Structure formats: C-alpha cells, structure tokens
C-alpha cells in the first residue's frame, strides 16, 4: 500500500522559529527590516496546504541590506579568523540543537524525505565544524626570491560583501557551503534563497541572528533577503558585491555570469548536472543496484547530482535492467508524505515540475524511446497536492535533445554500450559536467575512467553513485555546470583576494631579471 498517512508538522515547530506570523522579506543579524514589499504564500507539495506567508523584499530593502553589510565588513574583517571561527562554532551548536525541527520544516516546505532533510541540516553542522578548523588554516606561501636580501610571500585578504543565491532543492546546505566559508574568510554576506523555499532559510537564519546578537556583532555581518528574480538581477549587477555565488539552472547561471562579467566581478556558479553511471561486466552488480537506486530516486530526482543516465554494458543490460525495474516497483510502494518514517520518495517541488516531467516523457516517446516503468502522476488519498509521481525508467539514445538537457525529475535514461571507451565518450557527450561514476572491480577500467582520457566531470567516483558528496572535497563541475567549487579543499580561496608581498631587508635595490637602472 502507498504511504498516504499525513504526518502534520506541529504548530510548535513553526512557533520555534517565529514563522506563524507574516514574515518580512529582509533580515539583518539584528532582526527584520521594515519593508513595503508584497506578501506571497507558497503551497506545500506534501499536502497542498498553504504555508505561512512571506514578504517579498523591495529594492529599497535590498539597498539597505547591502549598505549595512558594507559597514559590517569594516568591523568583521578586523576580527581574527580564529575568533570568527568561534562564532561559526557556536552557530553550529544552535543548529545541532534544532536539527529535527529544521528538518521537519525543510521536508514539509520542499518535499524531500525527513531522513534526507536531517542529512541536509547535518551538512550545515559539518560545514560549521569544517569552518572552525579552516579559521586557523588560511595559509599563504613563502616564495624564493631571485634578489638577495628579499623575502617574497603570498597572503590572503577578505573580498567584502559576498552575494549568495541558492536553489530550492538544498534550501540550507548550499548556503552553508558559501556563508560559513565566507564568514571565516572575513567576508559579510547577503543571501537570496529560492522563492520556493523561503521558510527553511528564515528558520535557520533565525539561529544565526541569535548568535550575532549574543556576541554584539555589527548588524549586517550576515543578511537574508526574500525576493524574485529581480533581486537576483540586482545582486548580479551590483558592483558593491565583488563575488556572486549562484546555484541553479544553466539558464539562470548564464544570465548571472554575463551581468557579473560586465562589471568585472567574480562569479562562482553551480549549475545543471546530467550525471551518468557506467556499469561494466566487472562490477559488483548488487552494490551497483543499490547505488543506482538512491542516486536516481533520492530527493525525487531533484538533486543536481541525481543520476540521469545509466550506461549498461550489453552483456549485463537485460539482467541488470530486470533487477532495477523490480527495485523500482518496491520503492514505488513507499511514495508518500516525506515526514512519514517509511517513505522513500516524496513529492516534486510543485505542479510545474510535474508537468515538466510529463512533457519530457512525451518527448522521449516522440523520439522513439520506450517507458519501461513508471512516469504516472499519482492520485488518491494522500496525493491531493498533485506533486507525486512514479519514477520512470526509459530507453533512450544519448544524442536525443531531451537526453542532452537536464530534466529536474526522476527520469532515468537507460543506454546500452559495447566498450568502455564508448561508454566514457557517451558520458562526456553532454553539455554539463558535474558528477560521474563507474562500477567496476577491474583496476585498469577504474584508472582509465579517472585518467585524462576518462570522465570530464568535476566529480568522479568509483563504486559509489554520483550523488551524496562529502563536504571535505571541493564541490562543483565543468562545462555548463559553471566551473565553480564550493565547500571543502581549497574552495575558500574563491572568497578571498590573493596578494603577493615582497620585502627588501637589505640596503641595496637590485631589480628583477637582472635589469640595471642607475642614475
């Protein structure tokens, strides 16, 4: 039986974050700003009921936020980095204490399962832990000088006010990837979350406000603005924001990149993915089956790292496909309210996403593909929102226009290949380049996949799926995915400016390259 029991989100959860009343659209670290923007009410994809209203901020509110962020930057940058890390640590503890309540809001607002929502909040906590350590490791380099009695080194300084634009599918984690690192680096931030998930943003930001107030930090260290695409456009065009980090569609990212480039600013883009898994005859097929299932069905196919294309060797094609369809049949019995503990697959974000999925499936059929499983819109008790679908498995050819595009829905294109070189070529033959995986226990196959002749994606995995990246590595992709890198490794360098320093501690003035200039 499908899971249709409605698990309500308690009033106390909304109250804990002050979300029951009408929510202003602009926040500084010391509270909301007066505003004259219009109010907007989203509908929960879980049960179709209206969510608490949120005000869309005006252009005047945006300008006020940026000015306060600029003023706060002058103070924040002077606080030693380890002290900034301590503020991040305290904020992380507050998030840890409210993890379950935050997860409920995320789940009910955008539809991912409660388990996945808890994982997203944990990612924020992990980023805070990472940021604490990073605050003592913003290293420069010592460089050998060719001139006697000279010392050269490299140091890093904060940029200023960083603009952060995030998408609905990870309404708090992607913000943390950026905001935590920016804060440790000495930047102030202005965050525009997705219009489809503003309540999750306001909820977690309320904990940050608490932290800022408790430590008497300047208003504007971190700010939040709720608005439509016009606010995002203002951010992209605003020379007061030296860096814009934007997560979303390729179309949105291209627009942001063009506007930022016009003013010679920096952009950090995390855009679409069209991720593939290659399964070879030397794979552990049981392991691959489990990985494929989560990668394709997690967050109802609404991750930028979701599995879109499954490349199966011809010798295992029929056998693996038969097992996969059986697993999909089992998983489809656990589609329903994402707050229910037995649910595996929740709803899509809204009915527009459902319609986009149906149009994609029709295009597959028009191009000659066959739907092997699923694709239907679910109806009946518990599915009243109209946002529930049965995940689809379809046969396809990689060069079809529909396969070349990213459809943000649980559609899995199954493609047959003959040689590993052919499979790698198929995987790389899309405009996007985010995440990729191969399943094999053959060392030579794995190494070829990871070589310069292998995957052209920013993320390459062996014997794990393409989704579920850890925060310790730099996250991002190539080609139309945007080229940005966020979270771990040395991604922090995107939020700072590099300065090369030379000190002459002698009493002569030798010039580089042996140049002589004497008067």
Instruction: Indicate if the alpha-carbon torsion angle 307, 311, 315, 319 is positive or negative.
Output: positive
Q: DSSP strand E in 249-289: where?
A: 266-270, 275-279
CA–CA distance, 478 with 455 (Å, rounded to integer): 11
CA–CA distance, 36 with 28 (Å, rounded to integer): 16
Cα distances (angstroms) measured from residue 448 to each of 347, 443, 453? 38, 9, 7
- For residue 278, how many C-alpha atoms fall within 13 Å in the half-sphere facing its CB? 31
Catalytic-role residue among 109, 116, 123, 270? 270
Catalytic residue at 387?
no
Strand-pairing partners, residue 487, are: 474
CA–CA distance, 228 with 230 (Å, rounded to integer): 5
**10 Å Cβ neighbour count for 39?**
13
Burial (CB count <10 Å: 0-12, 13-18, 19+), residue 363: middle
Catalytic residue at 376?
no
Degrees, nearest 5: CA angle 396-481-252: 100
CA–CA distance, 38 with 26 (Å, rounded to integer): 12
Catalytic-role residue among 128, 222, 304, 387? 304
322 close to 312: Cβ distance less than 8 angstroms: no
CA–CA distance, 408 with 238 (Å, rounded to integer): 30
Q: How far is CA 456 from the centre of its chain?
A: 20
Question: What would the two tokens of residue 496 be?
Answer: 């700072």
Question: What would the two tokens of residue 66 be?
Answer: 């940026």
Question: What would the two tokens of residue 10 be?
Answer: 């308690």
Strand-pairing partners, residue 479, are: 432
Question: What would the two tokens of residue 229 be?
Answer: 């695409």
Question: What would the two tokens of residue 356 be?
Answer: 């986009």
Which residue in this structure is represented by tokens 């029929």? 318
Question: What would the two tokens of residue 88 be?
Answer: 């991040």
The DSSP H or E segment spanning 392 is: strand 392-395
Instruction: Indicate if the alpha-carbon torsion angle 70, 71, 75, 76 is positive or negative.
Output: negative
Q: How far is CA 170 from the centre of its chain?
A: 6
Put the strands of the sheet holding 142-143 in their side by side order.
142-143, 150-158, 496-504
CA–CA distance, 193 with 229 (Å, rounded to integer): 11
488 close to 173: Cβ distance less than 8 angstroms: no
Q: What is the DSSP letter of 211?
A: H
Instruction: Indicate if the alpha-carbon torsion angle 26, 170, 304, 244 is positive or negative.
Output: positive
Catalytic residues: 270, 304
């Amino acid at each position: 039986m499908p899971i249709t029991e409605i698990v309500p989100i308690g009033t106390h959860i909304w109250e804990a974050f002050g979300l029951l009343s009408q929510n202003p659209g602009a926040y500084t670290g010391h509270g909301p700003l007066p505003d004259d923007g219009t109010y907007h009410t989203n509908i929960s994809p879980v049960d179709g009921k209206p969510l608490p209203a949120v005000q869309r901020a005006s252009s005047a509110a945006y300008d006020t936020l940026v000015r306060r962020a600029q003023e706060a930057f002058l103070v924040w940058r002077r606080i030693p980095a380890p002290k900034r890390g301590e503020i991040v640590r305290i904020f992380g503890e507050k998030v840890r204490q409210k993890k379950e309540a935050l997860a409920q809001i995320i789940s009910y607002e955008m539809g991912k399962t409660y388990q996945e929502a808890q994982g997203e909040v944990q990612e924020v906590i992990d980023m805070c832990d990472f940021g604490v350590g990073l605050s003592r490791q913003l290293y420069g380099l010592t460089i050998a000088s060719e001139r006697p009695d000279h010392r050269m080194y490299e140091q890093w300084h904060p940029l200023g006010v960083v603009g952060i634009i995030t998408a609905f599918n990870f309404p708090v984690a992607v913000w943390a990837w950026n905001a935590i690192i920016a804060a440790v680096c000495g930047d102030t931030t202005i965050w525009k979350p997705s219009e489809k998930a503003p309540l999750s943003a306001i909820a977690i930001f309320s904990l940050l406000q608490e932290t800022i107030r408790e430590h008497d930090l300047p208003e504007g260290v971190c700010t939040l603005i709720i608005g439509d695409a016009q606010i995002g456009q203002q951010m992209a065009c605003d020379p007061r924001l030296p860096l814009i980090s934007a997560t979303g569609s390729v179309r949105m990212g291209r627009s942001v990149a063009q506007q930022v480039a016009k003013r010679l600013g920096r952009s950090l883009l995390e855009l679409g993915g069209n991720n593939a898994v290659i399964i070879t005859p030397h794979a552990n097929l049981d392991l691959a089956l489990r990985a494929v299932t989560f990668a394709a069905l997690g967050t109802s196919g609404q991750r930028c790292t979701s599995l879109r294309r499954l490349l199966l060797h011809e010798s295992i094609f029929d056998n693996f496909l038969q097992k996969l369809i059986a697993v999909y049949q089992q998983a489809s019995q656990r589609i329903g309210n994402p707050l229910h503990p037995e649910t595996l697959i929740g709803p899509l974000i809204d009915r527009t996403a459902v319609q986009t999925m149906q149009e994609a499936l029709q295009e597959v059929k028009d191009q000659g593909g066959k739907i092997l499983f699923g694709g239907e819109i679910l109806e009946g008790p518990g599915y009243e929102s109209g946002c529930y679908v049965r995940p689809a498995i379809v046969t396809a050819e990689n060069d079809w226009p529909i396969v070349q595009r990213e459809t943000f829905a649980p559609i899995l294109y199954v493609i047959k290949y003959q040689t590993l070189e052919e499979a790698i070529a198929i995987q790389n033959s899309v405009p996007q380049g985010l995440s990729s995986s191969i399943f094999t226990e053959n060392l030579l196959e794995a190494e070829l996949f990871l070589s310069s002749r292998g995957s052209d994606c920013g993320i390459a995995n062996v014997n794990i799926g393409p989704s579920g990246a850890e925060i310790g590595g730099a996250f991002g992709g190539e080609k139309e995915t945007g080229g940005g890198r966020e979270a771990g490794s040395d991604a922090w360098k995107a939020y700072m400016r590099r300065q090369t320093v030379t000190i002459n501690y002698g009493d002569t003035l030798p010039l580089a390259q042996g140049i002589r200039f004497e008067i």
